[in-house]
């Protein structure tokens, strides 16, 4: 029925969800809520240094969310109309995006366990797959993009949208052996994205 | 006085409120804030498995909020101007939308009780009724929609906006007998919405 | 220098801040985070009934935030450009809007004390005064509105933007005698706004 | 490839992140979550007065975030297109903006320690530097701004975007001697910005 819904609403919802998810990542610093109020310089410094792994996960998740957001931005550079199917795919992607602060918090606190690492990576895998499906559906459905896209552009973004899913699969497999190495593989994502830009 | 307010502001407020409510649903995973910091693989896995009902409620509430958001999106596909009455109805709807993370948290923790299930379902019933009233008012008030809407479109969205209220009434009645069956009836909402699309 | 900044950014920031402040009002239900996980039907029901005052404050604050948001929306129906002064006034107003979830939480928990009631009411008084100043500045500064506004419109919105500050002063004075009566005076705000619409 | 991405998305993400970061500053009032539910007038008043430093940091951080937001707003008054590099710089700036509620919370609770003050100031320094880099890149890269900017405008905003980084360096140095003086230097930021407007 509605193949002609405007895209501004889903773009606004997307921007809102990413803005909140990115900002809620600071929930990963929840440890500090249990700190006693009277700490001297040395005690506070040592507690803050213990939070460095949380900071690393904050940076990593922020970068991954940023990468998803840029993907979505690029997709809607081409997509000019949306429909119920595309909205439902978007919502499924957002459902996993909104889980990222939670899975980051878990992996930040229990990063030495396989279950925490794999939970985090499976979360990103699912989000990434729905963004990929979103692109494949929109790029191939007539009427969604302004004009028919050339095969080269479609394939370029097919590859781009597969970066996070593929990295996630590698991370999950690696985490079975070594969880901490596994979940730090995502630091390659921005490098791959920047390299792809040239390629 | 102002029958001619633009709709972009209330759409933006709506997108913001849904984005936040959807993201705050992770508050339902609050149990984990009480977990000890030193957990081994097995202990963490068992605690995470105990949270599966919370995850089910997360998914369900996300889907319901998504369904409301799509409804609102569809309504404003037709509504081109707003006025004070319509803004007040919107705000009442949003007031119940913003309660969803709270009632989800309650039903996630105490889903075996009637009071928690009915609180959750009554919350969705009220939100749904205000979205329905919003549509009925806007569709029938001259000057709100771009052009006069045909009866068929009005009735189609009347039915669409009644899905969640009707499901909620059924859920409330069912919850009097069995709360856990009652609140899981909402999983039918996306199916009904997709079917309606065809019908 | 910039008397010609577009208004869409400050409208978007406003919509975002109101959306978040409205949704964060559920922080007023923080009591429930201390509830034991194993509660039976009767215990949970009695705890939920004890939260009814919190719910009343939630509804009231939501309505007041809604009233502020509608005011802002109406103001920008006329204001077409903004400048540094107007942005600074907006930010000061938003600074008090963002405090509302906090002062609501305090008044919800300690509504029987004068200090909590007056804190809440002074918060709304300050927010209201900055919204009033915002309108007075914009309506009288040449180049901010699309065309010169007629005196009648300026005065109508002068009155409208004074509703919350005046109600707040009355509430503060009343709270010195009886805090609970004082902070419930705000329930008159929507009535006044709707009546003003006619007048 | 994409030197021609529209700017509305990154403006919306920015507005969302600032709206949330500003509103989450109330997390600095977290002390009150530990207050007993039964407090009389005198006890509550004394606890609230103990929170005045938190309120001062709230106001200060709100003003600084407001100053960053106005900077970003001014930048995009001139910037008409964006590209991947500019988006990445934006995201890095936002990553530090989203940390402000956290570093404000730390400095609010432990403002007497050097580590807390310097953490807060280093956070603002990094955010400020990325906003500065954003402007320098955009102003000098052909095709980002609508038309070539004159040298005077570029230099004016170079100076404007350096205010917070320079104040931050002064604050860090001062904090090595006296942390509480150091972090209160930011109250000069709005004054400098208003004076610059004239200059």
Ramachandran angles phi, psi of B149, nearest 5°: -80, 145
Ramachandran angles phi, psi of A35, nearest 5°: -70, 140
How high is the pLDDT of residue D3?
A: 55
* Residue D107 domain flag: yes
Nearest of C190, C192, C195, C196 to residue C61 by alpha carbon: C190
Q: Are D87 and A73 in contact (CB under 8 A)?
A: yes
The alpha carbon of A120 is separated from its chain's Cα centroid by a whole number of angstroms, namely 10
* Residue B2 domain flag: no
What sign does the CA torsion over D90, D92, D93, D98 have? positive
Q: How many CB pairs under 8 A join A and D?
A: 87
Q: Which residues of chain A are under the pLDDT cut of 70?
A: 1-3, 197-199
Measured in angstroms, the CA of B54 and the nearest CA of chain A are apart by 12
**How many Å is the maximal CA-CA distance in chain B?**
65
How high is the pLDDT of residue B17?
A: 95
Q: What is the spatial distance between Cα C141 and Cα C75, in angstroms, rounded to a whole number?
A: 14
Nearest of D104, D134, D139, D133 to residue D119 by alpha carbon: D104
pLDDT tens-digit readout, C113-130: 999 999 999 999 999 999
* D146: pLDDT strictly greater than 80: no
Question: What residue of B is the nearest CA neighbor of A119?
Answer: B48
> Into how many domains does chain B fold?
1
How high is the pLDDT of residue D169?
A: 96
Kindly write down the DSSP assignment for every residue of B41-94, as one continuous string.
HHHHHHHHHHTHHHHHHHHHHHHHHHHHHHHHHHHHHHB--B-HHHHHHHHHHH
- Model ipTM over 0.95: no
* Rounded average pLDDT over D165-184: 93
| Degrees to nearest 5, angle at CA D186 with C89 and D119 | 125
Nearest of D76, D57, D99 to residue D161 by alpha carbon: D76
Mean pLDDT of chain C: 90
Tokens describing residue C126: 């300050």
Measured in angstroms, the CA of C177 and the nearest CA of chain B are apart by 31
* Residue D22 domain flag: yes
* Residue D117 domain flag: yes
Tell which wins on pLDDT, D18 or B30.
D18
How high is the pLDDT of residue B199?
A: 46
B 32-51 residues with CB below 8 A of A? 32-33, 35, 37, 39-41, 44-45, 48
Q: Are D28 and D101 in contact (CB under 8 A)?
A: yes
Q: Are D137 and D85 in contact (CB under 8 A)?
A: yes
Task: Give the lowest-confidence range in B192-196, C73-77, D100-104, D131-135.
Answer: B192-196
Contact assignment for D115 to A74 by CB distance below 8 Å = no
Please name the chains neighbouring A, where neighbouring means 3+ C-beta pairs under 8 angstroms. B, C, D
Measured in angstroms, the CA of A47 and the nearest CA of chain C are apart by 26
* Residue D177 domain flag: yes
Going by pLDDT thresholds of 50, 70 and 90, the confidence category of residue C197 is low
Task: Give the lowest-confidence range in B86-90, B128-132, D152-156.
Answer: D152-156
Ramachandran angles phi, psi of D5, nearest 5°: -65, 140
C178 Rama sector, left if φ>0, alpha if ψ -120 to 50, beta otherwise: beta
What's this model's pTM, rounded to 2 decimal places? 0.93
How high is the pLDDT of residue D2?
A: 52
Q: Are D113 and D179 in contact (CB under 8 A)?
A: yes
Going by pLDDT thresholds of 50, 70 and 90, the confidence category of residue C133 is very high
Question: What residue of C is the nearest CA neighbor of B4?
Answer: C77
How high is the pLDDT of residue C124?
A: 96
How high is the pLDDT of residue A3?
A: 55
How high is the pLDDT of residue C153?
A: 87
Q: What is the spatial distance between Cα C60 and Cα C67, in angstroms, rounded to a whole number?
A: 11
Contact assignment for D19 to B16 by CB distance below 8 Å = yes
Tell which wins on pLDDT, C34 or D173.
D173
Which residues in chain A have their CB less than 8 angstroms from residue D65's CB? Answer: none
C 77-96 residues with CB below 8 A of B? 77
pLDDT tens-digit readout, B55-90: 999 999 999 999 999 999 999 999 999 998 999 999
pLDDT tens-digit readout, D29-87: 887 877 888 889 999 999 999 888 889 999 999 999 999 999 999 999 999 999 989 99
* Residue D3 domain flag: no
Is D19 part of the contact surface with chain C (CB cutoff 8 Å)?
yes
Is C26 part of the contact surface with chain D (CB cutoff 8 Å)?
no
Q: How many CB pairs under 8 A join A and B?
A: 87
How high is the pLDDT of residue D197?
A: 62
* Residue B3 domain flag: no
* Residue B1 domain flag: no
Going by pLDDT thresholds of 50, 70 and 90, the confidence category of residue C107 is very high
How high is the pLDDT of residue B2?
A: 52
* Rounded average pLDDT over C56-67: 93
pLDDT > 90: what percent of chain B? 66
Contact assignment for C20 to B16 by CB distance below 8 Å = yes
* Rounded average pLDDT over D14-22: 95
Residue-number span of the structural domain to which A169 is assigned? 8-198
Q: What is the spatial distance between Cα B43 and Cα A165, in angstroms, rounded to a whole number?
A: 29
């Amino acid at each position: 029925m509605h193949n002609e819904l405007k895209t501004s609403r889903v773009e606004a919802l997307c921007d809102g969800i990413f803005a909140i998810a990115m900002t809620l990542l600071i929930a990963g610093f929840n440890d500090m809520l249990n700190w006693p109020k009277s700490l001297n310089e040395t005690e506070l410094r040592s507690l803050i240094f213990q939070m460095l792994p949380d900071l690393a996960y904050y940076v990593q998740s922020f970068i991954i969310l940023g990468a998803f957001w840029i993907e979505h931005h690029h997709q809607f550079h081409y997509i000019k109309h949306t429909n119920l199917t595309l909205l439902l795919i978007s919502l499924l992607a957002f459902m996993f995006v909104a889980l990222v602060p939670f899975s980051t918090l878990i992996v930040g606190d229990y990063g030495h366990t396989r279950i925490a690492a794999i939970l985090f990576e499976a979360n990103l895998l699912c989000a990434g797959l729905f963004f990929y499906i979103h692109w494949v559906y929109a790029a191939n459905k007539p009427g969604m993009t302004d004009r028919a896209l050339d095969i080269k552009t479609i394939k370029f973004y097919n590859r781009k949208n597969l970066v996070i899913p593929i990295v996630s699969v590698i991370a999950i497999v690696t985490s079975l052996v070594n969880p901490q190495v596994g979940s730090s593989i995502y630091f390659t994502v921005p490098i791959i994205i920047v390299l792809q830009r040239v390629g």
